[in-house]
Amino acid sequence: MSTLVASPKTGAGLTGAITAPGDKSISHRSLMFGALAVGRTEVSGLLEGDDVRATAAAVAALGAQVERIGDGAWRIDGVGVGGLAEPSGALDMGNSGTGARLLMGLVAGHPITATFTGDESLSRRPMQRVIEPLSQMGAVFQGREGGRLPITVTGPVMAMPIDYRSPVASAQVKSAVLLAGLNAPGVTTLREPKPSRDHTENMLRQFGAEVKSAIEDGFNTVRITGQPELSPQTIVVPGDPSSAAFATVAALILPGSDVTIRNVGLNPLRAGLFDVLRAMGGRIEVLGERNEGGERVGDLRVRGSDLKGVVAPPANAASMIDEYPILCIAAALADGPTEMRGIEELRVKESDRIAVMVQGLRAAGVEVDEHEDGMTVHGGAGKAPAGGCTIGANHDHRIAMSFLTLGLAAAAPIEVTGAETIATSYPAFVQHYQSLGAEVSAR
């Protein structure tokens, strides 16, 4: 187990420029959709974190040819929709909920059997949310009590198209159903209470599938027409806003900082954190905004700022669902309370992010109230919290990176154990922080 220590930044703040690592959501999908196209898909900028590597190994085990041809450059020779083969061993999805849930959808649309396994964190996470609709489509599941991994899925000879109303706004549930629907005859419909990230819809359209989205009776409603022939694509993966969020907050909370983060994906269903940080008084400028492969991308210039507490709008929670841990860190340095509600989904992420953040913030000397559906952080108006504590990452990369960021602004260093989990989404994190002048090192 590796331990990292972040020490208080002395002197001026962080300065310099980094390039955001490839988007994790888009990287997973590039590999999966490439595997379903007829012909060769070329991907550049792929995130080479542990989660995405697990997906690469899984799609190879399902019959696609997957080859790494350079830094972030991958080539996938697809087998066509309906062409996946039965894997000979279990698919180990490591820490990745996205990999597990989306691939369960894919397998459920094929007449094959596959067993999914994962690490301690993934084996605790609820899979019933995908088992329910995929069973309606004809797949059969065998798993542990409560729908936990390991789970064996057997797809039907012909998946049945369904019309499913999801109780949660979850891109993973939405994508699992749409991916099973890809190989079902006719139209599969998925309704979600709020729009979640739309990478599956956008990318499948680019690959040539018929996907229609509309708001109907207040639900985001997506319809996919099954059994298309998908044509291979050249994909440039944009930088991950969820990873860029860490250096953004680090620069905001350290006075005198001036940091540029290049190539940040700014899809409106992903970029909610930046709006909240601006409402807090954060100086974040978007430079060179452009469209790359159907996604909005820009460079962020972030400067040290006096932040004030706000209410993070629950209505926008889906657009920043992975960013609440790092928002807590900005809130800890802000003037006044920051209220984050309507985020009970955080309790079933890589860790119970509400409980783990509350406990860690208190250990670091930050006052915080826990609610069933969120938390309220009482900021110290720029005054350094005590720090001087050890935080367990709990198999959660975003918890690890959030507390290392707080360590830079605390009065005494913060140590994070289990920090190897950072490699699931951001292998260059320490190197990037060091290059901006932050003191983060292995113990």
Cβ–Cβ under 8 Å, residues 397 and 50? no
Instruction: Report yes or no: 178 and 189 within 8 Å, Cβ to Cβ.
Output: no
Q: Supply the minimum distance, in Å, between the C-beta of residue 285 and ligand S3P.
A: 26
Q: Which residues contact 352 (CB under 8 A, 6 or more apart)?
A: 346
Minimum CB distance to ligand S3P smaller for 333 or for 401: 401
Q: 336, 231, 326: which is closest to 274 by C-alpha?
A: 326
Tokens standing for 48?
A: 């080479």
Cβ atoms of 31 and 76 within 8 Å: the answer is: yes
Give the nearer residue to ligand S3P in terms of CB position, either 110 or 398.
Answer: 398
Check residue 321 for interaction with ligand S3P (CB under 6 A): yes
Q: Which stretch in 170-178, 216-224, 284-292, 327-335 sits in contact with ligand S3P by CB under 6 A? A: 170-178
- Binding of ligand S3P at residue 95 (CB under 6 A)? no
Q: Is 248 in the site for ligand S3P (CB under 6 A)?
A: no
CB of 23 to ligand S3P, least distance (A): 9
Among 4, 20, 21, 25, which residue interacts with ligand S3P (rule: CB under 6 A)?
A: 25
Q: Judged by CB under 6 A, does residue 98 bind ligand S3P?
A: yes
C-alpha gyration radius of the chain: 21
Nearest to 287 by CA among 269, 320, 262: 262
322 binds ligand S3P, rule: CB under 6 A = yes
Q: Position of tokens 């020490």?
A: 7
CB 115, CB 150: distance < 8 Å? yes
Among positions 27, 41, 188, 196, the unique one binding ligand S3P when judged by CB under 6 A: 196
Given 322, 335, 352, 396, the catalytic residue? 322
**What is the DSSP code string of 64-105?**
-EEEEEETTEEEEEEE-TT-----SS-EE-TT-HHHHHHHHH
User: Total residues at the site for ligand S3P (CB under 6 A)?
Assistant: 11
Neighbours of 216 (CB within 10 A): 11
Q: What are phi and psi of 212, to 5 degrees?
A: -120, 135
Residue 28: CB minimum distance to ligand S3P, A: 6
CB of 230 to ligand S3P, least distance (A): 19
Among 41, 170, 188, 421, binds ligand S3P (CB under 6 A): 170
The residues, ordered by sequence, that sit 6+ positions from 159 with a Cβ below 8 Å of its Cβ are: 108, 109, 137, 138, 139, 180, 181, 183, 184, 226
Q: Is residue 203 at the binding interface for ligand S3P, with CB under 6 A as the rule?
A: no
C-beta atoms surrounding 275 within 10 Å: 17
Is 322 a residue of the active site?
Answer: yes
Q: Which of 76, 91, 159, 171 binds ligand S3P (CB under 6 A)?
A: 171
Residue span binding ligand S3P (CB under 6 A) among the ranges 83-91, 133-141, 144-152, 171-179: 171-179
Separation between Cα atoms, residue 370 and residue 417, nearest integer Å:
23
Q: What track of x and - describes contact with ligand S3P for positions 265 through 304 (by CB under 6 A)?
A: ----------------------------------------
Start-to-end Cα distance in the chain: 11
* Closest CB to ligand S3P among residues 191, 197: 197
| Omega before residue 150 within 30° of 0, cis | yes
Structure tokens at 366: 């930050």
What is the rounded distance in angstroms from the CA atom of residue 239 to the CA atom of residue 242?
Answer: 9
Of the candidate spans 116-124, 169-177, 405-413, 414-422, the one that interacts with ligand S3P by CB under 6 A turns out to be 169-177
Residue nearest to ligand S3P (CB): 25
Residue whose C-alpha is closest to residue 28's, from 291, 293, 235: 235
Does residue 351 touch ligand S3P according to CB under 6 A?
Answer: no
Torsion of CA 327, 333, 335, 338, to 10 degrees: 20
Tokens 């490439």 correspond to 34
Q: Is 172 in the site for ligand S3P (CB under 6 A)?
A: yes
Comparison of 39 and 313: residue with beta carbon closer to ligand S3P = 313
Closer to ligand S3P by Cβ: residue 9 or 398: 398
Measure the CA–CA gap between 300 and 249, rounded to whole angstroms.
12
Pick the piece of the chain touching ligand S3P (CB under 6 A) from 166-174, 246-254, 356-364, 387-395.
166-174
* Element (DSSP H or E) covering residue 61: helix 50-61
Q: Which stretch binds ligand S3P (CB under 6 A): 6-14, 31-39, 165-173, 380-388?
A: 165-173
Q: Interface with ligand S3P includes 27 (CB under 6 A)?
A: no
Residues making contact with ligand S3P (CB under 6 A): 25, 98, 170-172, 175, 196-197, 321-322, 345
Q: Which residues are catalytic?
A: 322
